[in-house]
Structure 1
């Protein structure tokens, strides 16, 4: 039999779509909005920086937005070591070391207590744990001013008012509710089968927490450290009330620098002191901002 003719293969028709422009009206609007927001938030920082390196002769001319004709770092040196913070004229370097002494133990203790609370509420589920968690959440929304006087009386009765342990304890107390919420939600996203397997292998409360849960908590630990360090460093009212004269943090000393009116008001020194006070939060946000977002995405809002 003669072979049947084979039909040629069908050639697929490909339609060439026109290339879309990268600059659509929606994208232009988004970039314009982001640019306006960036300028809005960065403009005060620009004013502070250029004012802090200007001599007072240029500042008196009133050109607050102009770049300095003569750059000087003398205001920064004065702000750090010789500006008056009240009766003493030793700069804000003492407040810097006081803030370090307050932030480090307060951050460690509040995160440790919050991690333990979140771990216990998520896996061990003690009797009354739900009620306790609700009470802790209520504590996160209580304004400082409402319970300031009872706390002052209580700390004075315990002889820790105006001491370094007292201000560390107060930051630990106020940081515990938010830290408990973060870690509880993060641990709620971990499969319960992992905890049960650890229990079958003979793990107890502390062994499971230290050897299993804590090493898995790196993303949320980064979030917690960023929140606590920046929050405690920027605190003013608690440091003013509970730190005492010998442990005033940098924010309180900055307020004293700006409000001290002994002679001419040195705006360049004030701006330099403001920038020095904000360097630590700025550095943390710039360096670890992406880790903060990753930690949030890894489970800080799950559960």
Structure 2
């Protein structure tokens, strides 16, 4: 019988993490499953709260880290525990602010894998903020030109944040790109590939809040690229999968719900600090992404 593990990265938002854990324990009927929860150095002591709460559950493993390692490296701690200690066959890396209510979540993944072996699967992710579909994240992914433009935009937003004008700058940039995109789409073929949350789609970029890794991926890798602290992990992952000719798939028959950014929101007392955090780490991650795109080596 195949073994399935969930990896959940926790940072401060303990109520969300508990709700995520309980949704899996209470709804998913598959027996051969474990939950690996990585406390990413939460300064509020909530990691110990989780350890005490689930101390008697042999299928919930709480790993306490001394420092915040960021999204990729923090998740990799759980990924490698599931791979090397639990010897799991499949790993679902999900955000702590997600909820699963589908009883056959795991069986559905197994069934599709038998039909069409994949490296990474992305479920239908429903935002609890606006009820929108967050998958597929992108059809083609961000190219080098797009990354360089994003780098400029984030630098402008960071600089203007010190005069509290970053939101105005972002709106102006967004408006200009909306106009440009409208003009571009007028001359674009109607038969071009589109992002469609209702259909199975292969070899597209998946949203990073819920990623399911199959034996195809697990045998070759130990998690996400460790070069970023936060942001663009899914962009980098998709780029590397294309380099390795490994298949990604969006499968809408598997569903998960997402509250969005609860850990980041709980980490800052002011919105301006939160925005500056995002700008800085987007800038750092874009530098990493551009460096990876320029390299012929796919090892990480």
Highest Rg: 1 or 2?
Answer: 1
TM-score, structure 2 normalization:
0.23
From the two aligned structures, give the one with the greater strand fraction.
Answer: 2
From the two aligned structures, give the one with the greater helix fraction.
Answer: 1
